[in-house]
Structure 1
Amino acid sequence: MGIDFTVFKGSKSGEILESKGHRDVGPTQALVELSHCGVCGTDEHYKHADQGLGHEGVGIIKEVGSLVELISDLRVGDRVGMGVSTLTLLRGPCAPTSGQHFKCQNSEQFGTANLDQGCFGSGVAWDVTALFKIPDEISSESAGPLMCGGATVWGPLYEHGFKAGDRIGIIGIGGLGHLAIQMASKMGMEAVVFSGTQSKKEEAFQLGASEFYATKGVTKLQGVQLVDGLLITTSVLPDLALYLPILAPFAKIFPLTISMDKIPVPALPFVLYGYSIIGSGGAHPQSIKAMLRFCAKHDIKPVIEKFPMTKQGVNEAMKKLEEGKVRYRGVLVV
């Protein structure tokens, strides 16, 4: 049967183009009719590439391949979400003994494979190893941003040994930060929030922040107890010199910003106190399943703005994203 789809693509000039495509289902794939897709900062990086945009998709499975029943419990009619990975490996030289097989070099990721399709559109062919069933308690419009934005902040909190009572510094209250605050607080951690100005202070506390500090023009943070982890969720990398004095020994720093810029840091504090910088661009498959269960149980959802899944809607969403005016995640609706 296969699937005919419309997809909105980037181009060399940066203009959003509408394209048509067709995919027949592969042995381990599902054909998904999309209903929603989150708009992520990563999409902005591919706006000038000849490829389908969007990787925070949600939709209904319409057809599955011949081998799907052998490797997955997903079936026709299931509501599923997808993120950056389009294929993760179940066997071979990078088998999932570590749970990190989605990072293997021969896995497939948004921006490096399947460039003819994307979740800014009406449908996709997706490998079932990279699809996740959405709990009934989570709406489709809320599920999209969780698949990448949510996974990006969940991974550091869930996979790196943090526990209830730990203090987690969160720099920025935006598309990532507002989800990190909710998750950390619901996990029993203290969400210590840093933002440029006082404008989002009340909202930070409503989301679950334990403490709030404005940093614009500040050269030394006063009265802040040490934090065990630091999530950098801002679109621009901050000066870490401001934050090193408030890190507990062996604190972990997670730069989550997609940026080509360097992170200048003095070496001595890392030698003396055992700090570590850990890159994290998502979460492993079992971790994502845990995130969806947790968000369903604790009613964690993104603050969203909705746009139509049309060329005009995509352009409007991307423009607001570029201008930093989205509060806090854009979602395209078919």
Structure 2
Amino acid sequence: MTKALGYAAKHSFSKLKPLEFERDAPKPNEVEIDILFCGVCHSDIHQAKNEWSNTVYPCVPGHEVVGRIASVGSAATKHKVGDLVGVGCMIDSCRECEACKAGEENYCAGPNSWLATYNGPMQPAKVSPTGTNTYGRDNTYGGYSTSIVVPEDFVLKIPAGLKPEVAAPILCAGVTTYSPMKHWGVKAGDKVGIIGFGGLGDMAAKIAKALGAEVFLFTRSEEKLEEARKLGATGVMEDDKDAFTEHKGSFDFLLSTIPEKHDLNPFIPLLKRDKTIVVVGALDNLAPVNNMQVAGQRKSVAGSLIGNLADTQEILDFCAEHNIGPDIQIIPIQQINDAYDMVEDGEVRFRYVIDIASLKQEQAESAA
């Protein structure tokens, strides 16, 4: 057992506060990670506030985790003590279903689906008779903490070309936007539209540019038009009817990164025949889609859920190779509740990243 300190929400209406707990020693196939940085994802806010009606409390968020291997299990061989590594949204899956065997762990069809880095299985209603989560863990506490224990094959290698604090959001925002681009075959010369210009949209634009696409960013904020130009993209206001008319039927791929319910219908006419708009930001219900717009040119409206382990390692290496990464602001963990408010108010485009040294200092002061 290792004593750990994290920041947890104890109710849907409560602020995150310090929580002391213990991490199990690594099992033979597991590694213990001393956490250095953890990104702040909008999903953390949804989860902490139980906006998806599945939160297990106390909830220690955090699934954009970067740290160094502190110890390894007796049978672990993929990583060694001192390695710089990352953990994304998943820390296990059933390993037996068709999706898992195909390397698509994020679409695990096992009894509980994949095990999230915090909050337990993706099917939280299927719990043990005592009410605790499955996979042999009473609760799954995430990366807003001093350490974490993870099966070694769900741990990613951070390439030398990436700073650890920059790598953290790539483990979610990076792979969440890269995976659908890869699946739907975005390539050099394609015309790609990114809807929404927050943390996901920023990464999506940079990745699409690095793939050689012509990138357009759709935003509601005039201030973000200049930010789009700095990325080498064309900014388009979502209420610019003339621009929507001009670009009708011209896009090879559209990616919606808006994190809440929104209307896709204005964007569907922008697609070429047989092309796809993919939603990655919102996991709740969307406004109804006008199927005449879809059927008329055999277009598709699709969804994509994070990315598999191979895609996650691939995008980490891709970002290092192309020298791209999210715009970040590092914060001490003591500012996490203020950061949540800023994200919810839409006042930030960059990704907050927690410096876990601030938590370790709090832990040391508490123990003194």
The answer to whether the superposition gives a TM-score over 0.5 is yes
Q: 2:2 is matched with which residue?
A: 3
Could you tell me how far 1:86 is from its partner in structure 2? 1.2
TM-score of the pair, normalised by structure 2: 0.83
Q: Which runs of 5+ in 2 are unaligned?
A: 50-54, 122-136, 357-368
Structure 2 Cα separation of the partners of residues 322 and 195 of structure 1: 16
Q: 2:27 is matched with which residue?
A: 26
Q: 2:295 is matched with which residue?
A: 271
Aligned mate of 1:222, from 221, 245, 248:
245
Range 314-323 or range 124-133, more displaced: 314-323
Q: 1:142 is matched with which residue?
A: 166
- For 2:297, give the aligned amino acid: Y
Residues 260 and 284, structure 2, Cα contact 8 Å, conserved in 1: no
Aligned pairs for 1:173-322 within 5 A: 173-209=197-233, 211-216=234-239, 218=241, 221-224=244-247, 226-309=250-333, 312-322=334-344
Aligned-residue RMSD, C-alpha: 1.9
Q: 1:328 is matched with which residue?
A: 350
Could you tell me how far 1:180 is from its partner in structure 2? 0.6
Please list every run of at least 4 consecutive aligned residues from structure 1 whose deviation after the TM superposition is greater than 6 angstroms. none
Aligned mate of 2:61, from 53, 58, 83:
53
| Secondary structure of 2:340 counterpart | helix
Q: 2:103 is matched with which residue?
A: 99
Residues 3 and 31, structure 1, Cα contact 8 Å, conserved in 2: no
TM-score of the pair, normalised by structure 1: 0.91
Could you tell me how far 1:220 is from its partner in structure 2? 7.0
Structure 2 Cα separation of the partners of residues 112 and 273 of structure 1: 41
- For 2:341, give the aligned amino acid: K
Structure 2 Cα separation of the partners of residues 75 and 87 of structure 1: 20
Aligned pairs for 1:102-141 within 5 A: 102-104=106-108, 105=110, 106-109=113-116, 110-113=118-121, 115-141=139-165
Could you tell me how far 1:66 is from its partner in structure 2? 2.1
Residues 93 and 100, structure 2, Cα contact 8 Å, conserved in 1: no
Could you tell me how far 1:129 is from its partner in structure 2? 2.1
The 1:185/1:313 distance shift into structure 2, 3 A limit, reads same
The 1:250/1:97 distance shift into structure 2, 3 A limit, reads farther
The 1:236/1:117 distance shift into structure 2, 3 A limit, reads closer
Structure 1 Cα separation of the partners of residues 295 and 84 of structure 2: 48
Structure 2 Cα separation of the partners of residues 57 and 303 of structure 1: 17
Residues 305 and 327, structure 1, Cα contact 8 Å, conserved in 2: no
| Secondary structure of 2:61 counterpart | coil
Could you tell me how far 1:272 is from its partner in structure 2? 2.6
The 1:295/1:144 distance shift into structure 2, 3 A limit, reads same
Could you tell me how far 1:95 is from its partner in structure 2? 6.1
Range 227-236 or range 134-143, more displaced: 227-236
In the alignment of these two chains, the number of paired residues is: 326
2:78 matched to 1:79?
Answer: no
Structure 2 Cα separation of the partners of residues 315 and 65 of structure 1: 35
Residues 305 and 326, structure 1, Cα contact 8 Å, conserved in 2: no
Structure 2 Cα separation of the partners of residues 325 and 204 of structure 1: 16
Structure 2 Cα separation of the partners of residues 328 and 314 of structure 1: 15
| Secondary structure of 1:278 counterpart | strand
The 1:88/1:10 distance shift into structure 2, 3 A limit, reads same
Could you tell me how far 1:317 is from its partner in structure 2? 1.8
Q: Deviations over 1:248-296 (max 9, x none)?
A: 1111111112342333111123223222222112111111111011100
Q: 1:40 is matched with which residue?
A: 41
